[in-house]
Amino acid sequence: MTVLDRMPANDLADRIIAGPAGFSGVDGDQEWAEEVRRLADLRGATLLAHNYQLPAIQDVADHVGDSLALSRIAAEVPEDTIVFCGVHFMAETAKILSPDKTVLIPDQRAGCSLADSITADELRAWKAEHPGAVVVSYVNTTAAVKAETDICCTSSNAVEVVASIPADREVLFCPDQFLGAHVRRVTGRENLHVWAGECHVHAGINGDELADQARAHPDAELYVHPECGCATSALYLAGEGAFPEDRVKILSTGGMLDAARETRARQVLVATEVGMLHQLRRAAPEVDFRAVNDRASCKFMKMITPAALLRCLVEGKDEVHVDPEMARLGRASVLRMIEIGQPGGGE
């Protein structure tokens, strides 16, 4: 039996409904979870779930985390099949770091507005306008863009990566404009050019909402992801004294979890995709975590439904492929980042 053969399943698989917006018809209940674990064992697969996935998907996975941490886990685990519950560029990154393994994504239509905000052709044209510049790309990019990149970065080490580049070298930072603005603000680097891309979910968490929530919960801590358009507003509130500076934290998802485990606050306002609340509440159940914007839900992340994961394990679909040369070049950009320092916290 090859890895892509159909696996014997119970009648849950017969309930799966395939539609243009994704797979449905199956609830993420105990029966489903037991069947998912049985099929994963039968297939010899490791299940990885991103922090923004549905709670049921996170709970059934072997590992939960950010995309880079999960991709590194994929390379280290003994299983030859990786099921990546996340968006497509994340599964691509796992394939780049594990070229000899089979990588599956439950629905290959799960894209990413941030990764799609720059193409390899656009990056090549931008590089031609700035010959000799060093390209720093966020890990939230496609394999094709990583192949055109000098050094990758995460939101937790973007400042460190840019600071490692000689001061006289121009830097092209892509694709997230808000993370790029954060890096420019911290480093003070004037020769840092930032691509005008964004995550539609994080960009939608605005400064007015943040200010309203901060005023309504004056004793809370504030965790803000640097992809958010409101990150500058958070720093402004702190600078103006509207919110205590020591309670405003610009953090990656991994950084949020670390802070949650150590906080003494009774309430924390969180500015990122709402799926992150599940892991934060598990990390610190005594803390009241609240979303700054409870509508900040990624429709692409939520395409990985219980039905999609079940279908993936039954049918061995969808397999992720990356051109070997593209994977080699992309892998080099990730490894250069790791050489600078172990990236903690990921995106």
> DSSP letters along 314-337, please?
HHT--B----HHHHHHHHHHHHHH
What homologous superfamily is domain 205-291 in, according to CATH? Answer: NadA-like (3.40.50.10800)
Domains 11-111+300-316 and 205-291 share a fold: yes
User: Domain segments of the chain: what residues?
Assistant: 11-111+300-316, 115-198+327-340, 205-291
Report yes or no: 250 and 224 within 8 Å, Cβ to Cβ. yes
Tell me which CATH homologous superfamily contains domain 115-198+327-340. Answer: NadA-like (3.40.50.10800)
Neighbour-count burial of 201, counting CB atoms closer than 10 A to its CB (0-12 exposed, 13-18 middle, 19+ buried): buried
- pLDDT of 156 reads 82
Q: What is the pLDDT of residues 8-56, one digit of tens each?
A: 667 899 999 999 999 999 999 999 999 999 999 999 999 999 999 999 9
Distance of CA 134 to the CA centre of its chain: 23
**Furthest C-alpha separation in the chain:** 64
pLDDT above 80 (res 232): no
The chain-wide mean pLDDT, for the chain, equals 92
Measure Cα distances from 142 to 87, 177, 220, 247, 299 in Å.
11, 17, 37, 35, 18
- Residue 342, judged by CB atoms within 10 A of its CB (0-12, 13-18, 19+), counts as exposed
- Residue where the block lists tokens 């599956």: 104
For the record, the structure tokens of 224 come out as 């803000």
- Name the pLDDT band for 229 (thresholds 50, 70, 90): confident
Secondary structure class of 46 (helix, strand, coil): strand
pLDDT tens for 62-91 read 999 988 889 889 999 999 999 999 999 999
End-to-end CA separation in angstroms for the chain: 37
The reported pLDDT for the residue numbered 246 is 84
Bigger pLDDT: 206 vs 106: 106
Q: In what order do the strands lie in the sheet with 81-85?
A: 63-65, 45-50, 81-85, 102-104
Asked whether the beta carbons of 269 and 293 are under 8 A apart, the reply is no
What phi and psi, each to the nearest 5 degrees, are found at residue 195?
Answer: -70, 145
pLDDT class of 234 with cuts at 50, 70, 90:
confident
More confident residue, 313 or 75: 313
DSSP letter for 345, please. Answer: S
Residue 1 has pLDDT above 50, yes or no: no
Task: Report the amino acid identity of residue 201.
Answer: V
User: pLDDT per residue over 247-264, tens digit each?
Assistant: 889 998 999 999 999 999
Q: Residue 205 and residue 230: Cα distance in Å, rounded?
A: 6
- CA 260 – CA 262 distance, rounded (Å): 5
- Report the pLDDT value the prediction gives residue 342, as an integer from 0 to 100: 58
Strands (E), 22-76: 22-24, 45-50, 63-65
**What's the CATH number for 11-111+300-316?**
3.40.50.10800
In the predicted structure, residue 320 carries a pLDDT above the cut 60 = yes
